[in-house]
Chain A
């Protein structure tokens, strides 16, 4: 008879363990540890809302205070998932309202949230404090008003890049008239004007406000007035800067910024004219995060700003920064950890910005703490990738988007296989990787062999054959999310590595050669996977060998989902359709 830790002691020990991965491991040790762990877990994270049922989660974690949920697959961000696919928040809100009334925080990403959901949240959780909606849709400003009016302890209300039916700015006036507990407010994705007087009053009666992100409708005058009332802000998202520069407006702005001595993060800056940038100089030395990705400012104004930001850790910018701007960043922003460079012309018909692979090479050489990169560039070279890998083995996230599909190394005309091999091999802590450009199956052999810690992998327009998928599914040990589009592999590798899919959160494939027949076989063989065929034309009406448009496969303990729209096929919908005998190579 072994010794057993009293549960109180175990509870105390567990109170020091925050990471859910660790807690998941703890709960596998034995039943009593499972029980103790589940009763003490406060922050619950569900990466795929269809992987588990809301009721099961509510039952398992009765002390839940914070729930984070993700809905649609990542490629929904790029319009690859049709509207109406799913990801509804309602069943979750309903279940939590019934079982976990002490819930305080809800964070949803890529989910459909209705006004009813928001009203239910407001009505059900009396201690509700935090609502963060990222890339969500389905609600209007009325729902926001309900939250504002009812949740007396609301600290955080953030709408990040949501699609909101904007019925006007009234929602702001619903916050309690006496002081509010607001710490963070982000309404940058709303379109319509809010009354500046409402906003001023709100800010004045929110003494704890640290983060404020305005929408573009807020003018410069409004901004100045708000900054005067909230000089304690640490994070600011400005409104639109597109006002004509008047000398007194400029000096007011300058002064307002210089009084914000704690400002660390700056974003917004829509339509900022270069003449306004000097107003920001006073806050630059303190900035750790700067999002210029909506600012159409060019060189050399950008450098004038950036060379003052010696503490910058996170920089999001457009390719207007050019190679020479990035060279400057490399020499002035030595603390840089995260760099994202977005294309300024998504149309692809004006690609003549002097931003090349060299820009990223500069930053890789000069910024020793760089660990996260998202870089859009028209073309690339193996040599650059090799240099980046050699200089920055500490990279954790490397997402390179060579805008031109199938673009080879433009100097040697070879595929970018060698370059990505270097990245996979050299950056041993790489957790997230997106590849692009011309890539053969070899590239994936290298990735499979070396990228042992990669959890999320995104691939487009690459590879030659089934080998590509075979290498990835047999090699990448830590792979949790794989998303592939427009690659020429078929059924073989998928069916061969079906078991691997149960170790992953999800696999997305669109515009590949996977046949309907293979989807059926997979569905039948693997009951713990949901295999969804998302195809405009019902696949049952086509021959089994014809490729399907999109497939989304995810592991689940919740069984088939009941809310699929017409264009999503699962085997559960048509159980009578058997699998014909196909010669699948």
Chain B
């Protein structure tokens, strides 16, 4: 399971495979371009795919040091998207110029609407090193997805990379608290325009945003979220070439949700995390600040109406 990036070298036309981690891919054909790699040294366990935040690792791992523990959702060490669809061709590098798309990527992918400039996997995954969760191609595909003029159709959610853009945490924290205040004032007014709240999911590489005003019931919200996040859960089942991908496409978020693998929670105006679904919809839209799809095990203790501080709350 390697993390590959393909790029076009100016001097050497054609795609050049580059393995950012020096690990060979068990399913890949060609690892000869990778220097200093010994296949036999692959630690399969280390490259095993899994979901979950870095600190929710298996017990044999040492606890992460501060860097990897999420301070804010922004600082969360996230790994790239998994492709929703089977994408046969190898993905494109950042230098391809193709089909009029400004970013110039060959492949298109219609599952996701244009996500503007998400971060290259090379960047993100680097921080994970051998623990890498597979998936390089996804981000490329996303970018390629920006068809034609569509650099950004949906509320663009970008992959989050540790320490990028290089803004001091002090500033990030200060801005986070003041922008949330602003959105309170602007978006909270009933009947006025959209009511965007951020939605994150344990283990997903980036946040999305939904406009609560476009739904009138929990059912609608739930199906919309299922569609939005269905891709992310597929990673849990590993990626072993094409075979793996086919298997993946069968597994949907709702199956996981109904299997109580994940629960939907929200942060209310007081900063407390609650289970979604307990209060009437109208009250919910007024009090909901953020949504989060949490792993079932993490939400133990969030009884309906219970008051509990989010474990992701900034501690400064």
Q: CA A80 – CA B65 in complex, angstroms?
A: 11
| Count of chain B residues near A, Cβ 8 A | 70
Q: Is the Cβ of A342 less than 8 Å from the Cβ of B36?
A: no
B104 at the interface (CB under 8 A from A): yes
Interface residues of A in 528-582 (CB under 8 A from B): 535-537, 542-543, 545-549, 565-567, 582
Q: Is the Cβ of B174 less than 8 Å from the Cβ of A84?
A: no
- Residues in B neighbouring A513, C-beta threshold 8 A: 20, 22
Q: Is the Cβ of A349 less than 8 Å from the Cβ of B122?
A: no
Given A342-B171, A346-B167, A545-B36, also A464-B9 (CB < 8 A): yes
A335 at the interface (CB under 8 A from B): no
Q: Is the Cβ of B116 less than 8 Å from the Cβ of A77?
A: no
Closest to B68 in A: A536
Contact partner of A79 among B64, B163, B175, B182, CB < 8 A?
B163
Q: CA A75 – CA B127 in complex, angstroms?
A: 14
Q: Is the Cβ of A296 less than 8 Å from the Cβ of B178?
A: yes
Q: Is the Cβ of A78 less than 8 Å from the Cβ of B164?
A: yes
Q: Is the Cβ of B162 less than 8 Å from the Cβ of A79?
A: yes
Question: What string of 1s and 0s marks CB contacts (under 8 Å) between A401-412 and chain B?
Answer: 101111110100
- Residues in B neighbouring A376, C-beta threshold 8 A: 165, 167
Q: Is the Cβ of A413 less than 8 Å from the Cβ of B104?
A: yes
B297 at the interface (CB under 8 A from A): no
Q: Is the Cβ of B168 less than 8 Å from the Cβ of A78?
A: yes
Q: Is the Cβ of A405 less than 8 Å from the Cβ of B175?
A: no
Q: Is the Cβ of B37 less than 8 Å from the Cβ of A545?
A: yes
Closest to A510 in B: B126
A61 at the interface (CB under 8 A from B): no
Considering residues A343, A490, A515, A543, which has the most beta carbons from chain B within 10 angstroms of its beta carbon?
A: A543
**Dominant SS at the A interface?**
loop
Q: CA A221 – CA B242 in complex, angstroms?
A: 66
CB distance from B195 to the nearest CB of A (A): 15
A271 at the interface (CB under 8 A from B): yes
Contact partner of B94 among A77, A408, A490, CB < 8 A?
A408
Q: Is the Cβ of A271 less than 8 Å from the Cβ of B157?
A: no
Report, as a range, how many residues of chain A touch the other chain.
Answer: 35 or more
Q: Is the Cβ of B67 less than 8 Å from the Cβ of A81?
A: yes
Q: Is the Cβ of A542 less than 8 Å from the Cβ of B130?
A: yes
CB distance from B268 to the nearest CB of A (A): 20
Question: What string of 1s and 0s marks CB contacts (under 8 Å) between B160-202 and chain A?
Answer: 1111111111111011101101100000000000000010000
- Residues in A neighbouring B122, C-beta threshold 8 A: 461, 486, 488
Q: Is the Cβ of A83 less than 8 Å from the Cβ of B65?
A: yes
Interface residues of B in 42-65 (CB under 8 A from A): 43, 46, 62, 64-65
- Residues in A neighbouring B117, C-beta threshold 8 A: 378-379, 403-404, 407
Interface residues of B in 7-38 (CB under 8 A from A): 7, 9-10, 18, 20-23, 35-38
Q: CA A582 – CA B209 in complex, angstroms?
A: 49
Q: CA A534 – CA B23 in complex, angstroms?
A: 19
Q: Is the Cβ of A163 less than 8 Å from the Cβ of B38?
A: no
B224 at the interface (CB under 8 A from A): no
Q: CA A404 – CA B126 in complex, angstroms?
A: 17
Q: Is the Cβ of B162 less than 8 Å from the Cβ of A80?
A: yes
Question: What string of 1s and 0s marks CB contacts (under 8 Å) between B78-121 and chain A?
Answer: 00000000000000001101000010100000000000110110
Given A294-B174, A347-B207, A406-B94, also A78-B166 (CB < 8 A): yes
A293 at the interface (CB under 8 A from B): yes
A157 at the interface (CB under 8 A from B): no
Q: Is the Cβ of A401 less than 8 Å from the Cβ of B166?
A: yes
CB distance from A225 to the nearest CB of B (A): 24
Q: Is the Cβ of B178 less than 8 Å from the Cβ of A401?
A: no
Q: Is the Cβ of B41 less than 8 Å from the Cβ of A406?
A: no
Q: CA A484 – CA B131 in complex, angstroms?
A: 22
B213 at the interface (CB under 8 A from A): no
Contact partner of A460 among B46, B104, B166, CB < 8 A?
B166
CB distance from A582 to the nearest CB of B (A): 8
- Residues in B neighbouring A351, C-beta threshold 8 A: 116, 156
Q: CA A373 – CA B123 in complex, angstroms?
A: 25
Given A347-B207, A461-B120, A511-B127, also A536-B64 (CB < 8 A): yes
Contact partner of A403 among B18, B120, B165, CB < 8 A?
B165
Given A271-B178, A378-B117, A543-B41, also A161-B165 (CB < 8 A): no
Top 7 nearest A-B pairs by Cβ distance?
A511-B126, A83-B66, A78-B163, A545-B36, A404-B117, A82-B65, A82-B67
A-B CB contact pairs (8 Å), 10 listed: A346-B171, A349-B157, A351-B116, A406-B94, A410-B102, A413-B97, A413-B104, A513-B22, A547-B22, A566-B62
Chain A residues at the B interface, C-beta cutoff of 8 Å: 75, 77-84, 135, 161, 163, 189, 191, 242, 270-271, 293-294, 296, 342-352, 376, 378-379, 401, 403-408, 410, 413, 415, 438, 440, 458, 460-461, 464, 485-486, 488, 490-491, 510-513, 515, 535-537, 542-543, 545-549, 565-567, 582, 584-585
Knowing that A404-B116, A406-B120 touch, tell me 13 more A-B residue pairs with CB under 8 angstroms. A82-B66, A83-B65, A189-B170, A293-B171, A407-B117, A460-B123, A460-B164, A461-B120, A464-B7, A488-B20, A535-B129, A536-B65, A567-B65
